[in-house]
Structure 1
Amino acid sequence: MVTCTNHTNAAGGDDHNNNNNNNDSSSTENFHGTGSGGSGRSSTSTSSSSSSNYCVWLVCSVMFLVSSVMVVAVFTIVSSSSSSSIAAWSPPFKFSAFKSAGTTTKTATPPNISSSKSLAYYFIPNNIISAAATTTLTANATTTPPPDSHLPSPIILTRQEILERGLAKARAAIREAAASHRNFSVTAFSAHIYRNPAAFFQSYAEMEKRFKVYVYEEGELPIVHYGPCKNIYAIEGRFIHEMEHGGNRFRTRDPHSGHVYFMPFSVTWMVKYLYKPNTYNISPLKQFASDYVRAISTNHPFWNRTQGADHFMLSCHDWGPHASRGNPFLYNTSIRVLCNANSSEGFNPRKDVSLPEIQLYDGDVSSKIRNPPPANRSRPYLAFFAGGLHGPIRPILVQHWKGRDAAIRVYEYLPKGLDYYTFMLKSKFCLCPSGHEVASPRIVEAIYAECVPVILSKHYVLPFSDVLRWEAFSIKVEISEIPRLKEILMAIPDDEYKRLKEGLRAVRRHFVLNHPAQRFDMFHMILHSVWLRRLNFRLAQKL
């Protein structure tokens, strides 16, 4: 196209020279006609004619040189503009290729990622991120064509730049909403359960408007593209199924349009099919994760572009964090959506996402807590817990409160004839101690039963805590305060307890799994948490 454009302009210049030559010939003919009085010419006429011919030749030469200079100038302008336009389409990053599967790789140049304050700050009214913290985009090409030129504009944005500009607009809109302190109806939105309701709802709207997730197609069943849809790790399979088959608006089939990239493997199924029982050898899990990263980074350029910073995995199994150690960038750079959100074991709330653990017997929530209980339901018990003595916290709870007080019902395992969910529905507070790992399905079950959760845990980053004010619908008690548990709970005023109950009813929709997914439910809240992490960094154009 550049050659064609230059050829057209050059031809136009030649035509212009030809016209000048024709005019010169006409002048010569007129000059000769005027001087011809008969068949012959005098010596004076011949001399005058020679002098005139020399002048005509000189004029023609000068005009030819001027025309040549004009042709060269036009060619230079077109070439410069065209080359700038082509440069604007150059890929933003140079990727290093993998030699072959199973061999060492050439490490890509670290991406130019600009980080800003965590977007959790967007939801704290007095600590809003400043506009100066976000880097602005710069165009690749700077050559401006002449005003009347028919040439295309040389400033051509790459698809990456278009995505980043969209994210920049989203950040600005969230920042503006957070600073405006808009008032929302408590009936409609229960604003008190959010850190900054205006910022959250603006962010959610921006997510629905812009956010696109590319799901990798690499991998085979049953470990990839599939997962458990029942029991305690059901969220793995449910999320994968919703992303791949739910028909949601967020999935894109075009990897170049994706803001983030989902690796749809199930750690629970890794354990089921790769782990040898009683060996405590989790190397096969790490190897599988490593092989999967190698596959997608060999087949696609996106992992190498950011070293996995815009990629995410999801796991509810306790060994999810350990499996991610199979690749150092998967562990340290990628977004890990984990039930085992233990900040003392490498969970980084700035980039990782805390995933709610939910128990789905036979693939659904128990019918006893599926619907909200009546607001005036009688709750004769102060607190309730029943569960195995896993981990260091539960033995302390059982030691101090099992069989000690009729108001606080603590069991290891419920005796026959007693029902777990009936106790929840009859208790004001549900005790939620961590087991071997920090997460517990009791927290979500307590929300369903509108039994105020009492969090007994260390280093647990609670789900969606960058958006939700957990203190608006739960109680946090330090492990050292377990002996004073009854005193602490009895000291909560009735008005405060009523406010906590209202918060539970309001937050319930964020912890419900629907099929198909519905706005603001657990599936969408997980995606929103990933969306926030993606907003926290920007891919700068690398020329």
Structure 2
Amino acid sequence: MYQIQTLQLSRVCLFKIKMAITSFFRFVCLSLFTFLSAQSKHLPYLTSPYLSPTTIFPNYQKMLQSFKIFIYKPNKPFTYETAAESLFYTSLLHSPFRTENPDEAHLFFVPFSPDLSMRSLARFIRTLRMEQPYWNRTLGADHFYLSCTGIGYESDRNLVELKKNSVQISCFPTRNGNFVPHKDITLPPVKNPQAPLNTTARFLGYVMVNGGRESTLVNELSYDPEFLIESQPSDQVGRSKFCLFDYEVDVTGIGEALSLGCVPAVITDRPINDLPFMDVLRWQEMVVVVKRERGVKEVKRVLDRTWRERYEEMRGLGVVASKHFEWHEQSQPFDSFQTVMYELWLRRHTIRYVRREAWFK
């Protein structure tokens, strides 16, 4: 009897010890998780520039393995006018994504000359509808096209379906009204080959003016010693904490600013819906948006606050994300071309069936 009681007592003690160890382990894990959660607000290496950091890499591999695109034959040979368009089209033609079998394609590319008239483009789409079975299956929703200027709103049925349903890839920034958020995509600009090297930040803000339309706000900033205004890029870009861009004048240097560790600050009074890779990157964590109407004082107030509170984190995320803004003659993993392809891959199941009679009464 004594031995049985001793054995039972030992089992009880072991159980209590096990529970105590388990409780202690849970406490340590909870404390560590709480600590890391708090520190992640301040340490850039504990954060990610991606909207879905846990899914982008496995999805990217699936895209590389399975994504297929069929390219229609254009009416006649042509060339694109901008470097970004040309690099994208050339990369697409020679990429493993291209297939000669339309039945295995996820998406269909519609190539046409940038100077093609709207009437000729409408005829081209009508020909695809009449001679190929693929357009009518989704009214063009599994098709995409490349146009820097974009397609406006037209009354012709073929152009309406192209505009409303097909994915438009245009150049950033887009013309007002020629871009449909959450459907269309923008190409990042090709970087300046003479882009300066990164150095230690000294100026609060850097502004590059290219001789185009003048900005009243930029003119006011030119008198502030904390801001540097230049007409040509120099090594001063990398010595600035923020790079200012007037959205109504020129914002094409955002990618270069990210790679140099210069946090972009966009001056605008309207929402920005056409930044490159809106489906991939956490732009709100890498770009500062300042309203123009509030003037220079507001610009300095926002930049000063951002610099004190989260500048290092934004800068770190921007440098990591900048690899997606690199164009190469031979495409490389996660460069501009492949990231645009990833955005297209995300849209491969998006099908829009449209009631035609509502448009063309």
Where on the TM-score scale, by shorter chain, does this alignment land: which range?
A: 0.7 to 0.9
Find the partner of 2:218 among 398, 414, 417: 398
Q: Is the partner of 1:197 in helix, strand or coil?
A: coil
Residue deviations 1:488-530, cap 9 Å, x none? 2122245622212211221111111122101111101111111
The residue that corresponds to 2:56 in the other structure is 200
The residue that corresponds to 2:36 in the other structure is none
Residues in 2 aligned to 1:449 and 1:257: alpha-carbon distance in whole angstroms = 42
Aligned-residue sequence identity (percent) comes to 27
The residue that corresponds to 2:271 in the other structure is 459
Write out aligned runs for 1:177-196 (5 A). 191-196=47-52
Residues in 2 aligned to 1:343 and 1:240: alpha-carbon distance in whole angstroms = 21
Residues in 2 aligned to 1:353 and 1:305: alpha-carbon distance in whole angstroms = 22
Tell me the TM-score normalized by structure 1: 0.52
The residue that corresponds to 1:253 in the other structure is 100
The residue that corresponds to 2:195 in the other structure is 368
Find the partner of 2:168 among 310, 314, 336: 336
Alignment CA distance shift 1:401-1:493 (3 Å)? closer
Give, as a single letter, the amino acid of the residue that structure 1 aligns with 2:147.
S
The residue that corresponds to 2:71 in the other structure is 215
The residue that corresponds to 2:282 in the other structure is 469
The residue that corresponds to 2:299 in the other structure is 485
Find the partner of 1:322 among 152, 155, 164: 152
The residue that corresponds to 1:534 in the other structure is 348
Residues in 2 aligned to 1:262 and 1:190: alpha-carbon distance in whole angstroms = 39
The residue that corresponds to 1:500 in the other structure is 314
Contact persistence 2:150–2:179 (CA under 8 A): no
The residue that corresponds to 2:200 in the other structure is 378
Structure 1 segments of 4 or more deviating over 6 A?
A: 323-326
Alignment CA distance shift 1:494-1:266 (3 Å)? farther
Residues in 2 aligned to 1:323 and 1:240: alpha-carbon distance in whole angstroms = 25
Write out aligned runs for 1:48-447 (5 A). 191-222=47-78, 226-228=79-81, 233-244=82-93, 246=94, 248-267=95-114, 270=115, 285-316=117-148, 319-322=149-152, 327-339=159-171, 345-359=177-191, 365-369=192-196, 373=197, 377-388=199-210, 395-402=215-222, 404-410=223-229, 414=231, 419-435=232-248, 440-447=251-258
Residues in 2 aligned to 1:213 and 1:324: alpha-carbon distance in whole angstroms = 27
Once the 2 structures are TM-superposed, how far is the Cα of residue 443 of structure 1 from its aligned partner? Answer: 1.0
- Gap regions ≥5 residues in structure 2: 1-42, 354-361
The residue that corresponds to 1:82 in the other structure is none
Once the 2 structures are TM-superposed, how far is the Cα of residue 204 of structure 1 from its aligned partner? Answer: 1.5
The residue that corresponds to 1:109 in the other structure is none
Alignment CA distance shift 1:340-1:519 (3 Å)? closer
How many residues are treated as equivalent by the alignment? 305
Tell me the TM-score normalized by structure 2: 0.76
Residues in 1 aligned to 2:307 and 2:215: alpha-carbon distance in whole angstroms = 29
Residues in 2 aligned to 1:466 and 1:346: alpha-carbon distance in whole angstroms = 19
Alignment CA distance shift 1:193-1:395 (3 Å)? same
Contact persistence 1:342–1:459 (CA under 8 A): no
Q: Is the partner of 2:236 in helix, strand or coil?
A: helix
The residue that corresponds to 2:32 in the other structure is none
Contact persistence 2:258–2:315 (CA under 8 A): no
Q: Is the partner of 1:330 in helix, strand or coil?
A: helix
Residues in 2 aligned to 1:197 and 1:221: alpha-carbon distance in whole angstroms = 41
Contact persistence 1:358–1:445 (CA under 8 A): no
Residues in 2 aligned to 1:251 and 1:234: alpha-carbon distance in whole angstroms = 21
Residues in 2 aligned to 1:323 and 1:366: alpha-carbon distance in whole angstroms = 36
Residues in 2 aligned to 1:257 and 1:428: alpha-carbon distance in whole angstroms = 48
Residue deviations 1:377-414, cap 9 Å, x none? 222221121325756xx523234323x21111235xx3
Residue deviations 1:283-330, cap 9 Å, x none? x631232132123223311112211111101122xx323398861111
- Gap regions ≥5 residues in structure 1: 1-186, 271-283, 360-364
Alignment CA distance shift 1:389-1:487 (3 Å)? farther
Contact persistence 1:312–1:336 (CA under 8 A): yes
Contact persistence 1:261–1:312 (CA under 8 A): yes
Residues in 2 aligned to 1:242 and 1:409: alpha-carbon distance in whole angstroms = 38
- Which structure has greater helix proportion? 1
For the aligned residues, what is the CA RMSD? 2.8
Once the 2 structures are TM-superposed, how far is the Cα of residue 261 of structure 1 from its aligned partner? Answer: 0.5
Residues in 2 aligned to 1:300 and 1:341: alpha-carbon distance in whole angstroms = 33
> Which deviates more from structure 2 when the two are superposed, residues 484-493 or residues 248-257?
484-493
